[in-house]
Amino acid sequence: MPALLVQDVMTRNQFREYRLFGRRLGSPLSPRQQRLIDELLPQVQVDNSAVYKDGGQLTELFCGMFTRFHLEIGFGGAEHLIWQAKRAKDVGFIGCEPFINGVVKLLTAIEEAKLDNIRICDDDARDLLDRLPESCLEKVYVLFPDPWPKKRHHKRRFINQQTLNQLARVMKSRAHLCFASDIADYIGWTQDHIADNRNFELVDMEPLERPRTRYEEKAVRAGRPSTYLTIACIK
């Protein structure tokens, strides 16, 4: 698979009416980070043009090692994804994150901890969902996504009817969508969208067992309580 070219990160997804994520690149990459992008990313990268028609093809993405799969959309600094991958070594994890600096943090952990059960999609999660086989995911995580707080930007929120229908297609029956946010308006937005979608139902609001992400730590310091939704796929 071709290595990600940093100079090309702003040219993808132009066919979409709008993006659900913000900037693609933050601080400049160090020489070591650029090496990880050039050398390690192609080894663990989801081919952004491949269509995985069945579970067997998805298994091949992980060199035949796994038949169970979880997806994290917008893994940020990758704290949660790394913890999960170390904890559940019999599961293949796909992490989707367009922010290159976040991708580099995950690549660093993959190299240092020799994690072989993570694959990275550095593109729009909607495109990935279109290309995954039906009923392939046991769990999906959307933790502290960009809240797009301005009303005119609400259409950019990841949780909407279109993406929920995409998720319903690729999730197994009774699989869980785990959502968390410290923005009360986004929690209400998500609950309303779940109530309006026949493929999902809210089953729990207890915190997940996991480490705090850097975004959650920021919310704690700011005094903003977080809410956790466990949502079952009931197709």
DSSP secondary structure letters along 119-146 = EEE-S-HHHHHHHSPTT-EEEEEEES--
Helix (H) or strand (E) run with residue 173 in it? strand 171-181
3-state secondary structure 23-57: CCCCCCCCHHHHHHHHHHHHHHECCCCCCCCCHHH
Write out the catalytic residue numbers: 146
**Helix (H, G, I), strand (E, B), or coil: what is residue 179?**
strand
Q: How far apart are CA 120 and CA 82, in angstroms?
A: 12
Pick from 69, 38, 36, 40: nearest CA to 52: 69
Q: Return the bridge partners of 179, or none.
A: 142, 229
